Amino acid sequence: MANCAQCGRKLPSFSFKKICAWCVQHEAEQRGEVAEDARQRVMLAPWVRRESGISLTQVIFGANAAVFLGMVLASGDPASFANPLQEFPVPLMVHWGANVGVYTFTGEWWRLLTYMFLHGGLLHIAFNMWCLWDLGQLCETLYGRWTYFCIYLITGVAAGLASAGWHPGAPSVGASGAIFGLAGALVASFALGEFSMPSMAIRSVLKSLLFFIGFNVLFGGIISGTDNAAHIGGLVSGLVLGALIARVAPDHDNLPRRVGVLLFAFALLAGCGWKVWQWRAPQIHALLREADAGTHAERIVNELQQKVSESPDDASAHYALAHAYFVKQQFPEGEKELEKVLQLQPENLQARMLLANILLAQGQAQAASEHFKKLIEQDPDNAKAHTGLGISLAASHQDAAAIEEFQAAVKIDPEYGKAYYPMGISYANLKKYDDAISAFLNARLRNGDDAQVETALADVYQAKGMTNDAEMARKRADQLRGPTE
């Protein structure tokens, strides 16, 4: 079906005319060929806003600005935010509703909405609001106010799910996931021919879309911490939703169909959220255990101190107290408790292992290596002890000897992943880059994605002159760190 060359309205099927009847009559009236008492029927062009007054885009813009101002005042140092590069501290963003998978997937689902109105700093909100003003006004005009609002929320939530699923332990804030959703919906609508617009308007929209996507791709590639998972989640959900509306419910006045499409999108989004939760549940539970251990460590220490004072010869109480100190990173106190455990139970392998790790954490590599050696004497097939000894030797710059211990650990247990990363570091120190790369890749395979491993891998690739591989590893490391949209 062709479009009018002047106003963009759709022409009747099988029409060979280039302009519509409305434009024909309008031009005739301008030439004086129509009687003065003839009145042309008012037909709003499809790109003209139907609602009057304050637009929804302006309301969303204002909400983002108000939240940002509130966070600036709550930061305790409002003057510092005159610097566009100044960012809010993570605890403040989490308090205000940042999307953190470990919280979102354990009952705080409201974070999938609140995070869209938070931003990390002045530069962050300025760019996002500029994009929202451009794309939001157009989407609101073409879809209508309430459909536009639903698209914004659905794609924003989809972006939040993608972000929380990809890095459940990192906070994510910003409206760019929802803005990418608007861009995707527009692209799908234009591609499937839902809307008629003048060619000039189409060129302007495409220019804005291309600049928005291109700038964010460049920004994400250069600036670490960009939440590309949210961007992709928003873009893909926008494409799907825009395509559904264009094919199933393009008519603004067909309310039942439009509502049906949006309800289907909500149901699909809920199903995706459930699948993401199932996928990330083990990691989320592990993160929760760590958080709970840190939160309740003070109470646990007080209770165990009382128990130790009541039963000074109870080795298990001393060990439990030492472990609580270890969680709180009170290493000297933990060391003292573990020495008491070993006085009471010299063959306690668990206590010796923890003591060796505490000594290593305090930089006492030589003392730690002695305890690891005793562990190996008591249990030669202890892969953890061999790995610990290797780390101690590496800390003393004995990388060749350290590698022997790491190799012994993986020989005992080929699936024991903790030995591969330090092994790669020792190989890299010895300039055995191929062996180092192999070790880091094994660490990734057995332990999963880790920014520290990717950074080390990038350094080794760079040392070998593999510039492209180094750049890819650095980008991967940046994606695994704490993001902002």
> Residue 429's domain is classified under what CATH number?
1.25.40.10
Q: Where are the alpha helices (DSSP H) in 144-254?
A: 145-166, 176-191, 199-222, 228-248
Contacts with 136 (C-beta within 8 Å, 6 or more apart), sequence order: 56, 57, 60, 61, 148, 152, 179, 182
The per-residue pLDDT for 292 is: 56
180 and 266 together in one domain: yes
Does residue 111 sit in the same domain as residue 228?
A: yes
Candidate from 285-294, 346-355, 412-421 with smallest mean pLDDT: 285-294
For residue 53, name the pLDDT band (cuts at 50, 70, 90).
low
Q: Is 341 inside a domain boundary?
A: no
Question: In this predicted structure, what is the pLDDT of residue 157?
Answer: 94
Q: Is the pLDDT of residue 51 over 70?
A: no
The last residue of a domain, from among 250, 281, 312? 281
Please report, in angstroms and rounded to a whole number, the separation of the first and last CA atoms in the chain: 40
Task: Please give the residue that has the higher pLDDT: either 150 or 226.
Answer: 150
Do 36 and 78 fall into the same domain? no
Q: Within 10 A of 74 (CB to CB), how many other CB atoms are there?
A: 12
Predicted local confidence at residue 308, as pLDDT:
81
pLDDT band per the 50, 70, 90 thresholds, residue 225: low
How many domains does the structure of the chain reveal?
3
Do residue 272 and residue 172 come from a single domain? yes
Same domain, 248 and 183: yes
Domain termination residue (choose one: 232, 262, 281): 281
Is 162 a residue whose pLDDT tops 80? yes
Q: Is residue 64 predicted with pLDDT exceeding 90?
A: yes
Report the range of poorest mean pLDDT among 182-186, 360-364, 389-393, 479-483. 479-483
The predicted pLDDT at position 297 comes to 59
Residue 17, pLDDT score:
58
Q: Quick check: is 100 in a domain? A: yes
Q: What is the DSSP letter of 31?
A: T
Domain of residue 27, residue span: 1-43
More confident residue, 223 or 386: 386
On whether both 142 and 242 belong to a single domain, the answer is yes
Which residues make beta-bridge pairs with 87? Answer: 121
85 close to 449: Cβ distance less than 8 angstroms: no
3: nearest Cα among 67, 47, 61? 47
Indicate whether 30 pLDDT > 60. Answer: yes
Residue 163 has pLDDT above 80, yes or no: yes
Using 50, 70 and 90 to split pLDDT, how confident is the model at 1?
A: very low
CA atoms of 245 and 143, how far apart (whole Å): 9
- CATH classification of the domain holding 104: 1.20.1540.10
Q: Is the pLDDT of residue 65 over 90?
A: yes
Inter-CA distances, 184 with 22, 181, 197, 236, 452, Å: 32, 5, 18, 7, 34
Q: Are 166 and 82 within one domain?
A: yes
| Per-residue confidence (pLDDT) for residue 284, from 0 to 100 | 66
Looking at the domain assignment, is residue 386 inside a domain? no
Q: Quick one: 79 and 225 in the same domain?
A: yes
Same domain, 34 and 66: no
Same-domain check for residues 155 and 210: yes
What would the DSSP string read from start to end of 452-483? HHHHHHHHHHHHTT-HHHHHHHHHHHHHHS--
Tell me which of 53-57, 63-67, 257-261 is least confident.
53-57
Q: Are 13 and 78 within one domain?
A: no
pLDDT tens, residue by residue, 411-420? 988 877 888 8
The residue among 256, 281, 306 that closes a domain is 281
Q: Ranked by mean pLDDT, which of 198-202, 223-227, 372-376 comes out on top? A: 372-376
pLDDT grade for 113, boundaries at 50, 70 and 90: very high
In a domain, residue 356? The reply is: no
Query: What stretch of H or E contains 159?
Result: helix 145-166
Average pLDDT over residues 280-302: 63
- Split at pLDDT 50, 70, 90, the class of 81 is confident
Q: Which range is most confident: 22-36, 53-67, 70-84, 224-238?
A: 53-67
User: Is residue 347 predicted with pLDDT exceeding 60?
Assistant: yes
Phi and psi, residue 477, nearest 5°: -65, -40
Assess whether 423 and 450 both reside in one domain: yes
Considering the domain boundaries, does residue 294 fall inside one? no
Q: Is residue 158 scored above 90 in pLDDT?
A: yes
**How much is the mean pLDDT over the chain?**
80
pLDDT at position 415 is 77
Is the residue at 311 inside a domain?
no
Q: What is the pLDDT of residues 442-484, one digit of tens each?
A: 888 888 778 888 888 889 988 888 988 888 888 888 777 654 4
Mode of pairing for the β-strands spanning 99-100 and 171-172: antiparallel
pLDDT bin (cut points 50, 70, 90) of residue 42 is very low
Least confident of 256-265, 414-423, 432-441: 414-423
Q: For residue 79, is it within any domain?
A: yes
As a whole number of angstroms, the distance between CA 218 and CA 71 comes to 28
Report the pLDDT value the prediction gives residue 240, as an integer from 0 to 100: 92
Is 475 among the domain residues?
yes
Grouping H, G, I as helix, E, B as strand and the rest as coil, residue 171 is strand
- Does residue 246 have a pLDDT over 80? yes
Give mean pLDDT, residues 393-399.
Answer: 89
pLDDT for 274 beyond 50: yes
